[in-house]
Amino acid sequence: MAIVSWGGVMPALATPFGRDGRLDESLLATLIDLLLSEGVSGFVVGGSTGEYYSMSVPERTGLFEAVARHVAGRSVLIAGTSSINHAETLELSKAAKGIGYDGCMVLPPVYCLPKPAEIVRAFEEITAIGLPVMVYNNPARVGLGLSYDLALQIAHLPGIVAYKESARDLYAIADLYYATRDRLAHFAGLEPYGSALLSRGAKGIVSTISNVCGREVVDYYRAFQSNDMQMLSRSQQVIDEMYRLLTQSGLSNFAFVKSAMAALGRPGGSVRAPHLMADQAQIEKIGRSIEGIYARAGINRTRR
């Protein structure tokens, strides 16, 4: 299969929930429009940042539909269809295909610690649906990582077109990139590693933190493409310090994302259980910290 044209910055889209816990479609539409105005090229919908694990299959399908209605062909749409239940992954992937998504992003089967042959079989069943697949390697969340040999085997399955990498071993990542970048569109899954992976042939970044600072992640990608080292350095600093703030906040990752969005007046809505949003005092503190990040990087947010 020819390499797909996917590239650029694709946010792992936050799912804005209202205080009643339901999807807030108005906030969702506002967030999509904001991110598109900041230059993103597509969205991964219902991934980890979208808190898919807190949603039922009908809710996830409804989210896919709501995003597709509002995007209306303006960007690439990738459906996050992973589930602890493999049958649900298949069901969600079929639904995304029916809605008209460009592809689906899928982790290896989670929690059950499958053997390599079982992982290959799972991806064979997903690709049989006929929707292009982005493989997602995230050892920290799955409990196992895809080895070079296993990833190479999966890469040769018909219908596997892209690969999102959230592992941290740059040497191992590079080996896989060099072996498969002629057939797969590779994406960095950890923004601080973005330029290191773009220089090895990645086509873009599937980004969590772009929900908070979309323009800076887009500038980061564009600076690399245009060889603008000054902008690349400034955007890298924002990304690195944003992740440092995340780890220092004491919040779970996606609670931090939505709390930071709230601090900046961005339409993120609330989290679902088991997550807990920051209280107002902490939200204000996060906002001040983010302003400090921009100041240290020499970026004036108010003029952007």
- Could you confirm whether 136 is annotated as catalytic? yes
The whole-angstrom separation of Cα 289 and Cα 230 is 23
> Pseudo-torsion of CA 250, 189, 205, 53, nearest 10°?
-70
What tokens does 260 get? 């930071």
Residues 6 or more apart from 236 whose CB is under 8 A from it?
192, 194, 195, 220
The β-bridge relationship of strands 103-106 and 133-137 is: parallel
Q: What are phi and psi of 82, to 5 degrees?
A: -65, 150
**44 three-state secondary structure:** strand
Which one from 136, 163, 177, 193 is the annotated catalytic residue?
136
- Could you confirm whether 164 is annotated as catalytic? yes
Contact present, 153 and 124 (Cβ < 8 Å): no
The β-bridge relationship of strands 103-106 and 204-207 is: unpaired
Contact present, 50 and 272 (Cβ < 8 Å): no
The whole-angstrom separation of Cα 68 and Cα 86 is 24
Q: Which residues pair with 43 in a beta bridge?
A: 77
The whole-angstrom separation of Cα 85 and Cα 61 is 15
Which one from 41, 97, 163, 164 is the annotated catalytic residue?
164
Active site residues per annotation? 48, 136, 164
